[in-house]
Structure 1
Amino acid sequence: MQTVPLVSVVMPIYNEAAFISRSLGAVLAQDYPGDCLDVLVVDGGSTDGTRALVQATAARDGRVRLLDNPARLQASAMNAGLRAAHGEIVARVDGHTIIAPDYIRRCVETLAATGTHNVGGPQRFVGTTPWGRAIAVAYRSPFSVPSRFTVSDRAEYVDTVYMGAWPRAVLEKLGGFDEALAVNEDYELNVRIRQNGGRIYLAPDIRSAYYGRQTPGALWRQFFRYGAWKFTVLRKHPASARIRHLIAPAFVAATVGGAILAPLDRRIARVWRATLGLYAAALGAASLRQASRAGWSHLLRLPVVFATMHVAWGSGFWTEALRTARGAAKAVRR
């Protein structure tokens, strides 16, 4: 007799051959009852052998199903998984994340204990290169572009969580994920959950290891996209804006604007230099603080990592803002 709810795990993936065996293996190795686990791997047309690896696992384990995601968007992958899911609860697991053996059980227990509409754990970045390890250290600092799930170690209600687990009925009531968003679709869903009276809960015992970007270049591209799509989400839901979303765009605007106007006015030049000086001091202090906690070998890389996060996020935000403004101006002229 089934005593626990059936859980459908949805894994949106694309070209994860280097990681999918470990991430999918961690899902299948859960201490949750095996006959109450439904695993949907939703692939965006991988070309690196990912599909063959998933198919081989599915042939050995009937709980695994491979679905197609021609749109290659995480939102469309999650919606495809939701449509095919059998479970009362839907949990997201990313292809470059290794969940703890009790991850699904903890999600189910936390949903039941709190009555919330979405639960998740902290995002713990794992670095595999010297730069990756510095990025992992920076992620834990409130000087980055932080969310509670990257910096908090305590159970609390939050505005969003990493990955997430939901009662299926909640996702269906809200119409699933917004497929107009290539990034930040999880935050946007959580905005709608909160708007409809739901709550989101961060539980530190819901554990996973996130193997993220391992170079400054890859980090720049990731945070540029984050900033660009954050503008889109805030344009759709302006009341969801938080100070942390706006600091990096404000810094980039002040830096670029100051560089343009400083030659024209000495007062502006003084303010601009003071702004850069304050940022440099804060950058140094945050780098020293994190290096003192995690190891002095990170000290020289941390300023680069922090600055990359801030400038990439702010640049992406303003690039999308200008693109949107140009599109609106063209529409008016027509």
Structure 2
Amino acid sequence: MLSVICPIYNEEKYISHCIESILLQDYPKGDIEVLFVDGMSSDHTRQIVNDYAEEYPLIHLLNNPNKTVPYAMNIGIQAAKGDIIIRIDAHTIYEKNYFTTLCSHLIELKADNVGTVCKTDVLNKNPKTLAIREVLSNKWGVGNSTFRIGIKDIQEVDTVPFGCWRSDVFNKYGYYDVRLVRNQDIELNKRIHRGGGKIYIIPDSFCTYLARETFKGIAKNNYSNGKWNILTVYYTNQLSSLSIRHFTPLFFLLSLLLPIIASIFYLPSLFLAFVSLLCYLLVLGIISMNLSINKKISFNYLFISFITLHFSYGLGSFIALLKLPFIRK
């Protein structure tokens, strides 16, 4: 049996799209259970899931009073009846062969985890959201992660989005770290990798993440991402829990802030911050112009999207650093 686990919280805008893509899967419906583990949503998410559950017996709603994703995953794993477990996300839709492809490759490759490329899209398409989509799909926006830039062949990697495991993997490597509000998938994959486990990304299917469509939404989400990069390392005592790309926005922000602070004692230090910012804006302008010309996307929205992403991400990491002395593990 296959158990599919989906942590949810206030997902009324996206949950129906996710469920409809699940119902279109070519995996045998009689051999699957889908566990939506809800963090006590305050919108209509629970009602939407319950409505589907009344019509489709494979759908179940579980409660997660602790709200966060790692708690939800552990609740789902412990309740799962399947010998294979797939984690999905409510903000994402799935190709109809997604479940079948993951399960078959998990067995064929004798892997500990397998995943696919995760593309980015938006529900409502307009000049601003198309620019946001492009930035969240571009290596200058989100780094060079294999699962974002695409692959042609099966590759062994150190992490994949979401995941597909045999249920006994969690007995071997442990459950999700409930301290991590973000990065819990990456941390688990790094733990598997350090323990000698094999993780593969496969090209034969994909999922599509439905991104937030406002600059405020992008800033809020990436501020939290940046914050939890620092806290993940702090809680796990493992710098290898993440990759260097996760800290690049912080390094850039420090290249501006440190010279500004130093200028209190030595005014010419401001020149370093000016050069760093000028180089950044120049490179970003060239990248945005190239994308605008080649893909017919608004230059202004591209430029603003990149800046919003980079600065909110870096700021989240910086504020987390300042708060570390006051945080208990």
In the alignment, residue 46 of structure 2 is paired with which amino acid?
R
Rounded Cα–Cα distance in structure 2 between residues aligned with 1:257 and 1:7? 52
Q: Which residue of 2 aligns with 1:180?
A: 179
Who is 2:283 aligned against?
282
The aligned counterpart of 1:272 is 273
Equivalence for 1:325: 325
CA contact (8 A) 1:13 1:42 kept: yes
Q: Deviations over 1:21-57 (max 9, x none)?
A: 2211211221011112111111111122221221121
Identical aligned residues as a percent: 31
CA distance in 1, matches of 2:47, 2:94: 22
Q: Distance in 2 between matches of 1:60 and 1:77?
A: 24
1:316 aligns with 2:316: yes
Q: Aligned AA for 1:221?
A: K
Q: Distance in 2 between matches of 1:239 and 1:104?
A: 30
Match of 2:31 in 1: 36
Preserved contact between residue 227 and residue 314 of structure 1 (Cα < 8 Å): yes
Q: Could you tell me how far 1:266 is from its partner in structure 2?
A: 5.2
1:3: which partner in 2? none
Number of residue pairs matched? 323
- The amino acid that maps onto 1:45 is M
1:130 paired with 2:127, answer: yes
Distance 1:123 1:238 in 2: 25
User: How far apart in 2 are the matches of 1:317 and 1:261?
Assistant: 20
- Structure 1 CA distance for aligned equivalents of residues 84 and 299 of structure 2: 43
Q: Distance in 2 between matches of 1:292 and 1:177?
A: 44
Offset of residue 258 of structure 1: 2.0
Please say if 1:8 is aligned against 2:3: yes
* Counterpart-to-counterpart distance in 2, 1:267 and 1:203: 52
Q: Does 1:74 align with 2:73?
A: no
| Match 2:142 to one of 134, 140, 145 | 145
* Residue 89 (str. 1) matches residue 87 (str. 2): no
Which whole-Å CA distance do the structure 2 matches of 1:263 and 1:232 have between them?
30
1:238 aligns with 2:244: no
Q: Which residue of structure 1 lines up, in the alignment, with residue 53 of structure 2?
A: 58
* Distance in structure 1 (CA, Å) of the matches to 2:47 and 2:190: 37
Partner of 1:191: 190
Unaligned stretches of 5+ in structure 2? Answer: none
Is 2:190–2:240's contact at 8 Å kept on the other side of the alignment?
no
Alignment counterpart, residue 103 of structure 1, candidates 98, 106, 113: 98
The runs of 5 or more residues in structure 1 that have no matched partner are 1-5
- Looking at structure 2, the residues matched to 327 and 161 of structure 1 have their Cα atoms a distance apart, in angstroms, of 29
Looking at structure 2, the residues matched to 206 and 292 of structure 1 have their Cα atoms a distance apart, in angstroms, of: 30
Distance 2:244 2:11 in 1: 34
Q: Quick one: distance in 2 between partners of 1:292 and 1:79?
A: 46
Aligned counterparts of 1:41 and 1:96: Cα–Cα separation in 2: 13
The two structures have a TM-score, normalised by structure 1, of 0.91
The answer to whether the aligner puts 1:212 opposite 2:211 as a matched pair is yes
Shift of 1:267: 4.5
Structure 1 Cα separation of the partners of residues 105 and 198 of structure 2: 12
Distance in 1 (alpha carbons) for counterparts of 2:111 and 2:321: 34
Q: How far apart, in 2, do the equivalents of 1:223 and 1:256 lie?
A: 19
Deviates more, 1:214-223 or 1:166-175: 166-175
Give the residue type in structure 1 aligned to 2:149: V
Look up the SS of the partner of 1:202 in the other structure.
strand
Q: For 1:83, what is the secondary structure of its paired residue?
A: helix
Q: 1:201, 1:293 → 2: CA distance?
A: 33
Check whether the contact 2:229–2:242 (CA below 8 A) recurs between aligned residues: no
Contact residue 122 and residue 150 of structure 1 kept, 8 A: yes
Q: Distance in 2 between matches of 1:81 and 1:32?
A: 20
Which deviations, in whole Å up to 9, do the C-alpha atoms of 1:202-258 show, x marking residues without a partner? 223221221111111110110111011111122321133422122111111111122
How far the C-alpha of 1:114 sits from its partner, in A, is 2.2
Distance 1:255 1:154 in 2: 39
Distance 2:9 2:242 in 1: 30
